């Protein structure tokens, strides 16, 4: 099996799995319990949170552990909306992840005004346009750090300083950036990410909150790790997340370099294929290579690649004929390319043989009408 869908999720690292299993066995007590085992789990968790804070160069208080980036995205949008009911305007973009767009749409259905920041020809957010959209009643600006389809990395610092000067909250979904490139969370007001994109387990995510900012929690309940998210702390998942984060930081540069070489190898081969267009650009992280294979349809294409035991993705596995990738359209302004795009996502685990097999499969790909 050839797995080239690491942007969708990653296989758990064996040492992360080991930490997860061991912690589940050794620290099974409810960390909210006041008995001795509960206290031990609590103390253990505090150590884990301190380590996570250290890895991210933030404070423990900044960290709100939750189930996923989807939960983090929903929590911050809806939580701020509840806290500031008079602010009825949201600024985001058309190239956000579905979990962000879904939360924005839910608020729009309740009467919120939503504006979408345009992107330049390079796929970067147009900061002048963003500036022109800011309003007195803007609740927040939420813009993704790395687009999950094209891999384009946005200038977060510039966006953050623009929002700070305007005194408007800035949230960024950093799920595809975390662990892959250095991200300074301290420049942001809020950020979301997820462990399973960095060789950690599924079911654990993080909402970063600047310490002087607050919102109304979505999950109320008893006292827990953070007043912003009740429930029994997921001790083992948190420990596994910390280990995954640690590995992603330790190996960040070496993995980035290795993946960059893999990308160059792949792009060289793809460039020689007349039906292929490369959609990722100079701003894209090496982990994501977005291409269009002209005269193919991604819904059938994914099945075709599966028949060669190759797993990759398009905009979505169930992308209908009339659908297109808004992220690819944003950079190419070409509907044919946006309707025939595929995302190949690479890892330090990827081999040249796997890429050769992919290229061969693309060469043999049948034409669709």
Ligand X SMILES: Cc1ncc(COP(=O)(O)O)c(C=O)c1O
Chain residues binding ligand X by CB under 6 A are 68-70, 97, 99, 144, 148, 173, 175-176, 194, 205
277 three-state secondary structure? strand
**Cα dist. 338→101, 291, 321, 341 in Å?**
19, 9, 11, 6
CB of 135 to ligand X, least distance (A): 26
CB of 67 to ligand X, least distance (A): 8
Separation CA 163–CA 157 (nearest Å): 10
Using the minimum distance from each CB to ligand X, give the nearer residue, 207 or 365. Answer: 207
193 counts as catalytic: no
Give the torsion through C-alpha atoms of 56, 150, 105, 217, to 10 deg: -10
CB of 6 to ligand X, least distance (A): 11
Using the minimum distance from each CB to ligand X, give the nearer residue, 38 or 203. Answer: 203
Using the minimum distance from each CB to ligand X, give the nearer residue, 29 or 124. Answer: 124
Separation CA 117–CA 112 (nearest Å): 16
Separation CA 257–CA 200 (nearest Å): 21
CB of 185 to ligand X, least distance (A): 16
Using the minimum distance from each CB to ligand X, give the nearer residue, 226 or 296. Answer: 226
CB of 358 to ligand X, least distance (A): 21
| Overall residue count recorded for the chain in this entry | 369
From 196, 206, 214, 169, select the one nearest 17 (Cα to Cα): 196
Please answer whether residues 198 and 349 qualify as being in contact, where contact means their C-beta atoms are separated by less than 8 angstroms: no
| Token output for 208 | 């970063």
Using the minimum distance from each CB to ligand X, give the nearer residue, 23 or 75. Answer: 75
CB of 25 to ligand X, least distance (A): 25
Secondary structure, 3-state, 299-324? HHHHHHHHHCCEECECCCCCCCCCCC
Helix or strand holding residue 169 (H, E): strand 169-173
Separation CA 319–CA 316 (nearest Å): 5
Separation CA 98–CA 107 (nearest Å): 14
CB of 111 to ligand X, least distance (A): 25
Using the minimum distance from each CB to ligand X, give the nearer residue, 194 or 290. Answer: 194
Give me the catalytic one of 66, 193, 311, 318: 318
Cβ neighbours for 273, distance < 8 A, ≥ 6 positions apart = 359, 362, 363
Beta strands in 58-126 (DSSP E): 63-66, 89-93, 113-117
Using the minimum distance from each CB to ligand X, give the nearer residue, 41 or 77. Answer: 77
Separation CA 224–CA 349 (nearest Å): 37
- The catalytic residues are 318
């Amino acid at each position: 099996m050839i797995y080239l869908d690491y942007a969708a999720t990653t296989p758990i690292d064996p040492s992360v799995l080991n930490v997860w299993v061991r912690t589940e066995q050794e620290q099974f007590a409810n960390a909210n319990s006041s008995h001795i085992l509960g206290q031990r789990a609590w103390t253990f968790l505090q150590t884990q949170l301190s380590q996570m804070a250290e890895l991210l160069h933030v404070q423990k208080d900044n960290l709100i552990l939750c189930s996923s980036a989807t939960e983090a995205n929903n929590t911050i949008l809806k939580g701020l909306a509840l806290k500031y009911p008079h602010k009825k305007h949201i600024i985001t973009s058309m190239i956000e992840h579905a979990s962000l767009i879904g939360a924005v749409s839910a608020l729009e259905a309740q009467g919120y005004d939503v504006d979408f920041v345009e992107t330049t020809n390079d796929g970067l957010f147009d900061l002048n346009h963003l500036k022109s959209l800011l309003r007195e009643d803007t609740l927040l600006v939420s813009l993704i750090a790395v687009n999950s389809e094209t891999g384009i990395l946005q200038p977060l610092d510039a966006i953050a300083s623009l929002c700070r000067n305007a005194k408007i909250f800035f949230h960024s979904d950093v799920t595809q950036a975390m662990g892959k490139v250095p991200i300074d969370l301290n420049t942001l007001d809020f950020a979301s990410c997820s462990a399973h994109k960095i060789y950690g387990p599924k079911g654990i995510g993080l909402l970063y909150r600047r310490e002087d900012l607050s919102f109304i929690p979505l999950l109320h309940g008893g006292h827990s790790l953070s007043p912003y998210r009740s429930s029994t702390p997921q001790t083992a998942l948190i420990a596994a997340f910390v280990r995954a984060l640690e590995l992603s930081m330790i190996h960040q540069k070496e993995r980035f370099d290795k993946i960059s070489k893999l990308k160059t190898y792949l792009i060289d081969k793809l460039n020689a294929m007349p039906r292929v267009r490369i959609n990722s650009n100079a701003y894209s992280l090496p982990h994501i290579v977005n291409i269009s294979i002209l005269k193919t349809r991604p819904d059938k294409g994914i099945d075709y690649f599966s028949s060669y035991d190759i797993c990759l993705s398009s905009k979505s596995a169930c992308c209908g004929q009339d659908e297109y990738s808004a992220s690819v359209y944003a950079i190419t302004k070409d509907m044919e390319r946006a309707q025939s795009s595929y995302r190949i996502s690479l890892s330090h685990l990827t081999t040249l043989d796997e890429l050769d097999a992919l290229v061969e499969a693309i060469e043999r790909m049948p034409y669709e009408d």
